[in-house]
């Protein structure tokens, strides 16, 4: 049974990927310092899979502590690296914190990949590397443009670091560029737990709908799109998770002839902010209290994926519709509303 190290396993996409890996026969361990997550989410993973997942509460920016994990687990076949700070707005306010955290952790991991000869490395990247594309949908060969935030730069720089590493390493790497991951596992045992006021659209919608936020703001409706609001490619988090399992299998089966390969993980459908709100109102059966506000600095106007490479090479089949994404997100919000301990995590003061 191949053992996979998942960094950020207590996080949103990390926890969903732990579930998918276990359900597909992999042995998994997590490393997560819980600076932006709670180990409580692993209870949900255990409820779904029936397996207790070991989490190493380690800061990957500490090389010695990271190295010790590999000394204890010399049989790691692959690594999926999620652990990173990911709030666009926060990265603008705290650029050095973002470059240090997101790049130091990556460099320490790659040194361990080299030292312990870990065969496969999968990196959590983002469509943010495309910046504001001139042509949509974007393919993996669409040239990256200057990032719109320090967060985006850490993803672009992370890809470059891994590319150069892969050229001189025996390990094979995959870069997965997520579009907008939303929704919750259909069991509603795990989901997104944004800390503090949510920056992302769908948690802002569900927290407004449940009354945790008084009102949400649509950041601009004067863009050159079909209804004036920004256009995005929403993709269910469980579909994203399964693409990670497929990527590892693709590498293990020797199907990649590249040192480093890129895949877009998007639905291939463009949906505007206002269309997402309409879809939520239909799914939830309630009107959403929102207002139109000024544009948000750094926002990409319109982007969605050409996902044919992942569909063809990985055999990736998208299971969930936009309605499924919004329905599971709403059901998850309703569930955590009933469990104060989850909100304690969300209201944690960020230092």
Instruction: Report the residue from 27, 65, 100, 299 that binds ligand WQD according to the rule CB under 6 A.
Output: 299
Residue 51 beta carbon to ligand WQD: minimum distance, rounded to whole angstroms: 26
* C-alpha angle 15-20-26 in degrees, rounded to nearest 5: 105
Other CB atoms within a 10 A radius of the CB of residue 6 amount to 29
- Report in angstroms the alpha-carbon separations of 88 from 268, 308, 343: 23, 28, 22
Interaction of residue 232 with ligand WQD, rule CB under 6 A: yes
Report how far residue 346's alpha carbon sits from residue 55's, in angstroms, rounded to the nearest whole number. Answer: 20
Interaction of residue 180 with ligand WQD, rule CB under 6 A: yes
Instruction: Report the residue from 10, 41, 48, 218 that binds ligand WQD according to the rule CB under 6 A.
Output: 218
Which stretch, 1-9, 46-54, 195-203, 250-258, contacts ligand WQD (CB under 6 A)?
A: 195-203
Instruction: Report the residue from 37, 126, 245, 284 that binds ligand WQD according to the rule CB under 6 A.
Output: 126
Instruction: Report the residue from 296, 309, 335, 337 that binds ligand WQD according to the rule CB under 6 A.
Output: 296
Phi–psi pair at 340, nearest 5 degrees: -55, -30
Which stretch, 55-63, 103-111, 185-193, 216-224, contacts ligand WQD (CB under 6 A)?
A: 216-224
Query: What are the catalytic residues?
Result: 151
Which stretch, 63-71, 101-109, 193-201, 318-326, contacts ligand WQD (CB under 6 A)?
A: 193-201
> Measured from the CB atom, is 68 or 301 closer to ligand WQD?
301
> Measured from the CB atom, is 38 or 126 closer to ligand WQD?
126
Which stretch, 23-31, 98-106, 217-225, 260-268, contacts ligand WQD (CB under 6 A)?
A: 217-225
Interaction of residue 27 with ligand WQD, rule CB under 6 A: no
Phi–psi pair at 93, nearest 5 degrees: -80, -30
Report how far residue 123's alpha carbon sits from residue 125's, in angstroms, rounded to the nearest whole number. Answer: 6
Interaction of residue 132 with ligand WQD, rule CB under 6 A: no
- Report in angstroms the alpha-carbon separations of 254 from 3, 140, 173: 17, 21, 12
- How many CA atoms does the CB half-sphere of 241 hold within 13 Å? 28
Interaction of residue 216 with ligand WQD, rule CB under 6 A: yes
H-run or E-run covering 175: strand 172-178
> Measured from the CB atom, is 70 or 153 closer to ligand WQD?
153
Give the residue from 250, 232, 185 showing the smallest Cα distance to 14: 185
User: Hey, which bits of 205-244 come out as E strands?
Assistant: 216-219, 231-232, 234-236
Q: Could you say which DSSP state residue 3 is in?
A: E
Report how far residue 55's alpha carbon sits from residue 30's, in angstroms, rounded to the nearest whole number. Answer: 4
Instruction: Report the residue from 31, 48, 230, 329 that binds ligand WQD according to the rule CB under 6 A.
Output: 230
Interaction of residue 16 with ligand WQD, rule CB under 6 A: no
Closest residue to bound ligand WQD by CB: 230
Q: Could you say which DSSP state residue 38 is in?
A: -
Which residues contact ligand WQD (rule: CB under 6 A)?
86, 88, 126, 128, 178, 180, 199-201, 204, 216-219, 230, 232, 273, 296, 299
């Amino acid at each position: 049974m191949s053992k996979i190290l998942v960094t950020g396993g207590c996080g949103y996409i990390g926890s969903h990927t732990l579930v998918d890996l276990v359900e597909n026969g992999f042995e998994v361990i997590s490393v997560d310092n819980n600076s932006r997550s709670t180990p409580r989410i692993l209870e949900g993973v255990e409820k779904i899979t029936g397996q207790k997942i070991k989490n190493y509460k380690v800061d990957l920016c500490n090389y010695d502590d990271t190295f010790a994990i590999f000394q204890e687990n010399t049989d790691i076949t692959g690594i999926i690296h999620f652990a990173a700070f990911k709030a666009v707005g926060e990265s603008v306010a705290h650029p050095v914190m973002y470059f240090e955290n997101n790049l130091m952790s990556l460099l320490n991991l790659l040194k361990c990949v080299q030292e312990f000869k870990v065969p496969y490395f999968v990196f959590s990247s983002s469509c943010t590397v495309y910046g504001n594309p001139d042509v949509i949908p974007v393919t993996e060969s669409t040239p990256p443009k200057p990032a719109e935030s320090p967060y985006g730069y850490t993803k672009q720089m992370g890809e470059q670091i891994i590319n150069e590493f892969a050229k001189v390493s025996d390990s094979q790497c995959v870069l997965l560029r997520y579009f907008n991951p939303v929704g919750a596992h259909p069991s509603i045992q795990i989901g997104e737990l944004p800390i503090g006021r949510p920056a992302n659209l769908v948690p802002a919608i569900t927290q407004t709908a449940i009354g945790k936020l008084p009102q949400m703001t649509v950041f601009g409706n004067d863009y050159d799109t079909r209804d004036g609001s920004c256009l995005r490619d929403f993709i269910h988090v469980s579909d994203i998770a399964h693409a990670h399992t497929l990527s590892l299998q693709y590498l293990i089966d020797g199907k990649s002839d590249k040192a480093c390969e890129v895949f877009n993980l998007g639905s291939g459908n463009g949906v505007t902010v206002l269309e997402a709100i309409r879809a939520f109102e239909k799914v939830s059966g309630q009107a959403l209290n929102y207002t139109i506000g000024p544009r948000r600095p750094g926002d990409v106007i319109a982007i969605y994926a050409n996902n044919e490479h992942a569909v063809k090479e990985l055999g990736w089949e998208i299971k969930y519709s936009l309605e499924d994404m919004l329905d599971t997100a709403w059901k998850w919000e309703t569930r955590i509303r009933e469990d104060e301990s989850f909100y304690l995590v969300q209201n944690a003061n960020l230092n």
